[in-house]
Amino acid sequence: MSQAQFDEMLAGARSDRAQEMCGLLAGRDGRVTRVLPVPNSLRSPVAYRMDGPEFVEAMKACDFEPLAIYHSHPHGPAVPSPTDVAEALYPDSIYVIISFVVEPPSVRAFRIVRGEVSEVGIKVDEGRMTKDE
């Protein structure tokens, strides 16, 4: 992803530190083309849910296959929680988690497939999110 897209994602996640913020990263072939913030319908500091018309519009922008799903952990580490793992419904997507426990924020990415979690790398400026070898 570009630095501008990374900064846009962080700014959206930072906009309300009292709750988890979330959204989608649209793209193709590992290249991020758009950052699509989506309201957290749960308005919770420990969980998120994307639904409603904003989510439908964001999914349309992703051709119904988001490259990545991002959300913040305002008070926890940048690792998937048990709820994150249980609710991971898009096995082809990357899950990006932003933690504000430290400054600068910790940003990590994961594949979550059938309950199995594996970390992937995030490359900023080159426009790709790829698995570390």
- Structural domains in the chain? 3-120 (3.40.140.10)
Q: Per residue of the chain (133 residues), give pLDDT as tens.
A: 999 999 999 999 999 989 999 999 999 888 999 999 999 999 999 999 999 999 999 999 998 889 999 999 999 999 999 999 999 999 999 999 999 999 999 999 999 999 999 999 999 986 555 544 3
Distance CA(45)–CA(59), nearest Å, equals 24
Question: Which pTM was predicted?
Answer: 0.92
Instruction: Supply the pLDDT for residue 132.
Output: 47
Distance CA(100)–CA(119), nearest Å, equals 19
Instruction: Supply the pLDDT for residue 133.
Output: 38
Instruction: Supply the pLDDT for residue 127.
Output: 53
Instruction: Supply the pLDDT for residue 44.
Output: 96
Instruction: Supply the pLDDT for residue 65.
Output: 84
Instruction: Supply the pLDDT for residue 129.
Output: 57
Distance CA(25)–CA(39), nearest Å, equals 14
How many CB atoms sit inside 10 A of residue 58's CB? 22
Which residues touch 43 (CB under 8 Å, ≥6 apart)?
19
Among residues 107, 130, 91, the alpha carbon closest in space to that of 8 is found at 107
Among residues 23, 42, 41, 19, the alpha carbon closest in space to that of 32 is found at 23
Instruction: Supply the pLDDT for residue 103.
Output: 92
Instruction: Supply the pLDDT for residue 29.
Output: 85
Q: Please provide residue 97's backbone torsions phi and psi, each rounded to the nearest 5 degrees.
A: -120, 130
Instruction: Supply the pLDDT for residue 12.
Output: 94
Among residues 39, 46, 37, the alpha carbon closest in space to that of 18 is found at 46
